[in-house]
Amino acid sequence: MKLARDGLPTIFGLAFMVIGGGLISPWISVVLAFPMMLALWFYRDPERIPEAPSGWVSPADGKVVEIEEVDHEYTGRTVKIGIFMNGLDVHVNRFPAAGKVEYVRYVPGKKWFAIAPKASEINERFYVGAQSENGRFLLVQIAGILARRIVCRVNKGDRLDRGQRYGMIKLGSKVDIYLPHAVKPAVGLNSRVVAGETVIGVVKE
């Protein structure tokens, strides 16, 4: 099982504690093994293959909780899809389409329930905007009430491929995607989506 590199310090730390605890008492190892197994599950990072050769793939695992028209300085007025990740979902985020990063912005904020619509405006979040062959799009990683860290590993000028990993959010959160004007949603509210696999947008005819 492949693991997200951001989780390796936590996993190695817990493994060291399990081994060290076992030198004192086997019961300590048993107790510490449980959080280590949880960490292994949470930081899993499986390989993903898009379900179709074309189309915009989901940037996150989870449930579609919002589809609405919104305005943003980078994209203008467009359609936003909000995807809520629960604690059991894979938390590694992926690029929905090939593009060049043009816009990066971190906004400190609160840690309100990520599933709430207002979380997109008041919570801690990280914006990444990119230019694709279909136009500009925007990704927003939004910290939830339990999230402790947003990880974003891209900078202006970076070029990423469709489905490529670009970051993760630790412990439950939300990802918004602002689609280009030329792309329409291919999912509905309450749909379950898989990062890097599920097609959530298609080019308008």
Burial class (CB in 10 A: 0-12, 13-18, 19+), 5: middle
Burial class (CB in 10 A: 0-12, 13-18, 19+), 118: exposed
Note the pLDDT tens digit of each residue in 86-122.
Answer: 878 888 999 999 999 999 999 998 777 777 777 788 8
For 20, the token pair is 């060290």
- The CATH code of domain 56-203 reads 2.70.70
Domain ranges of the chain: 5-42, 56-203
pTM equals: 0.86
Note the pLDDT tens digit of each residue in 181-203.
Answer: 999 999 999 999 999 999 999 99
Mean pLDDT by 10 residues, the chain (205 residues): 66 65 71 68 79 92 95 95 90 95 92 75 92 97 79 94 91 89 95 96 90
Is 173 annotated as catalytic? yes
Catalytic residue among 54, 120, 132, 173: 173
Q: In sequence order, which ranges of 7-122 are alpha helices (DSSP H)?
A: 8-24, 26-42, 119-122
